[in-house]
Chains A and B, each alone.
Chain A
Amino acid sequence: MKASREPGTEDRGPETRDHEPETADQEPGTAVVRVALPTHLRRLARVEREVEVEVRGPLTQRSVLDALEARYPTLCGTIRDQVTQKRRPFVRFFACEEDLSHAPPDEPLPDAVATGVEPFLIIGAMAGG
């Protein structure tokens, strides 16, 4: 399934971030991850730009989503099922020009995501006519 411009991904907003990196105060073993949300989820979370979340321990899809939901509880259930933790079928995860949607949730994310060079992209899958 390809990435979509509908629904809600047509405008990823400016490339600026909601917050500047906090690397100066960053604890050892933590990473500040840039997360790009589709328009609908940005509105729900009431953010206008790419967001950053601090992730402790291994950097995986699961740990990024845990950190994202902890910071923006209104996103709980919109990206993955609240009980099974499975990715919602029409949501996709991209990073470093790779589709990571089908990767195991505990598989490490690319180093470029961990270092903040590349964002972790949450995408609404393509649909429509």
Chain B
Amino acid sequence: MSRVRVLVGTRKGAFVLTSDGKRATWDVSGPHFPGWEIFHVKGSPADPNRIYASQTSSWFGQVIQRSNDGGQTWETVGNQFVYDGVTGTHQWYDGTPHPWEFARVWHLEPSQHDPDTVYAGVEDAALFRSTDGGQSWQELPGLRGHGSGPHWQPGAGGMCLHTIILDPDNAERIFIAISAAGAFRSDNAGKTWLPINRGLKSENIPDPTAEVGHCVHRIAMHLSRPNVLFMQKHWDVMRSDNAGESWQEVSGNLPTDFGFPIDVHAHEPETIYVVPIKSDSEHYPPEGKLRVYRSRTGGYEWEALTNGLPQRDCYVNVLRDAMAVDTLDACGVYFGTTGGQVYASADAGDSWAPIVRDLPPVLSVEVQTLQ
């Protein structure tokens, strides 16, 4: 029988939540790495027992953990992230040049084919790759070396590379997103990069339609349609049908189009999920009602999913890496909140229940569907 393993990163450790295919009762393991910020935990599609975790601390820096037994035991691997060549500068908050400084790993993206190959998106924004199971890391410097690099600027959370999408049909193609530089695509396995922000409009930057500078919060893709991308921007929900060459807004009837995560149903490529947040100055749900919105039409038309979610006095946030789906039938949808709840839906969002209610603030949620 199928099983589900939910990997949760929080401000104070990692948690592993497991259930059978019914997804009704859950075992909770953790905290792993107690007291550390766990920005992201993700398993290898090629070997579900291989899991990588980004463990970080303002005091003690970056650690990468690796498990070879599905998260039961862990070992530290390499944590040296050194920018390639001349470090260069990006814009600081005051507009002055600021040298690139490594702060932490925001996102780990294991290869779909090789458990020893994994990509790391870091702050200050850069993309690293390991081909030896995380023991050593090499930057793909063409991204940071893109001519626009000196003009990139951090968002309030730092200048982070938070989204890495590997094209399942084209090993040469990688999509990434940076706050607040925007989205980029490589068609040669990371050697060179193209900004893919045409169609984005951001009123909070000097040139709203600039080639770079947009605060992209998250991009999602369905594996069956790698040319179709969905984006939650700072404001605006967007889609692209041509691998990012151009974007159109699909916010439609959302109560607010500010938010962080976006994800796609495992079996319905036009069904997508977002969690609208009131505004960038009030990081909580509108009207104190926690609502996931689902579109079955690839955007434009959205329905509120509320069954089992708090509909009064709820003022949590859902961060960009804190939503995921499983591949069971019916598709399971999961998200974690800054209030420490992890909610699960075993029916594609029609109804929800908390797996856990009182974790530390949730930074990331990933799901593994196991046979």
Contact = CB atoms under 8 A, between A and B. Distances in A.
Bind each other: yes
B226 interface: no
Interface stretch (A19-27, A82-90, A103-111, A113-121): A82-90
A91 B63 CA distance: 16
A7 B59 contact: yes
Given A7-B35, A40-B36, A44-B76, A78 B82 contact: no
A41 B80 contact: no
Interface string A43-71: 11000000000000000000000000000
Interface of B, secondary structure class, is: loop
Contact of B60 (A78, A82, A127): A78
A7 B62 CA distance: 15
Contact of B62 (A43, A77, A90, A124): A77
Nearest to A88: B61
Contacts of B82: 82-83
Given A77-B79, A77-B80, A83-B82, A8 B35 contact: yes
A78 B36 contact: no
B57 interface: yes
Given A7-B35, A40-B35, A91 B60 contact: yes
A124 B61 CA distance: 12
A74 interface: yes
A43 B61 CA distance: 15
Contacts of A79: 60
A3 interface: no
A112 interface: no
Contacts of B34: 43
B25 interface: no
Interface size class of A (residues with CB under 8 A): 20 to 34
Contacts of A39: 35
Interface string B52-78: 000001111111000000000000100
Contacts of B57: 7, 40
Given A8-B59, A40-B60, A90-B58, A74 B76 contact: yes
Given A41-B60, A44-B63, A124-B59, A76 B36 contact: no
Contacts of A82: 79-80, 82
Given A7-B35, A8-B35, A40-B35, A91 B59 contact: yes
A125 interface: yes
A127 B35 CA distance: 14
Contacts of B76: 44, 74
A78 B35 contact: no
Interface in B171-200: none
Most chain A beta carbons < 10 A, residue from B57, B59, B60, B76? B59
Contacts of B36: 40
Contacts of B61: 77-78, 81, 88
A33 B248 CA distance: 64
Contacts of B62: 77
Given A7-B35, A77-B63, 12 more contacts: A8-B35, A8-B59, A39-B35, A40-B57, A76-B79, A76-B80, A78-B60, A81-B61, A82-B79, A88-B59, A90-B59, A91-B59
Closest 10 CB pairs of A and B: A78-B60, A90-B59, A74-B76, A124-B59, A77-B79, A82-B80, A77-B61, A7-B35, A78-B61, A40-B60
19 contacts: A7-B57, A8-B35, A8-B59, A40-B35, A41-B60, A77-B63, A78-B60, A81-B61, A82-B82, A83-B80, A83-B82, A88-B59, A88-B60, A88-B61, A90-B58, A91-B60, A124-B60, A125-B59, A127-B59
